[in-house]
Amino acid sequence: MNEQGQYARYQEDAKVLAAVGACVDAQVARLTVRLPKALGRAAVAAWDRDELEDIGEETLEQYAVRDSAGELALIGLVISERGRWENDEVVVDLDVASLGAAVRAAR
């Protein structure tokens, strides 16, 4: 199998995936979710935290962990700006990209 041909197919697959994403985004750009209060507070704390240390050279695993922490912080930002605290939960409209990142982290 020709590697160049293989990557050309992957390029076309990536375009199709982007088209699927555009269709899905038009239908469900945001979803309302309910999270336990403790998780909502932890996400807001991740957003409020200042990371003052320089990031040195990272392994792929370290980068992935930092990326996940960044996703959590962005969820915390949204909660702090538009979350509604109701009893033992926070109700918030989250972007599907943030939801996807959270679901991938759970797997």
Q: What is the 8-class DSSP label of residue 96?
A: H
Identify the pLDDT of residue 46. Answer: 97
Mean pLDDT, each 10-residue run in order, the chain (107 residues)? 82 95 88 97 96 88 94 98 98 94 93
Identify the pLDDT of residue 28. Answer: 87
Identify the pLDDT of residue 4. Answer: 81
Element (H, E) at 92: strand 89-95
Per-position DSSP letters for 13-66, written without gaps between them: HHHHHHHHHHHHHHHHSEEEEEEEHHHHHHHHHHHH----SPP----HHHHHHH
Residue 95 β-bridge partners: 30
Please state, in angstroms and as integers, the Cα–Cα distance from residue 106 to each residue in 3, 9, 11, following that order.
Answer: 34, 30, 28
Task: Flag whether the pTM goes above 0.95.
Answer: no
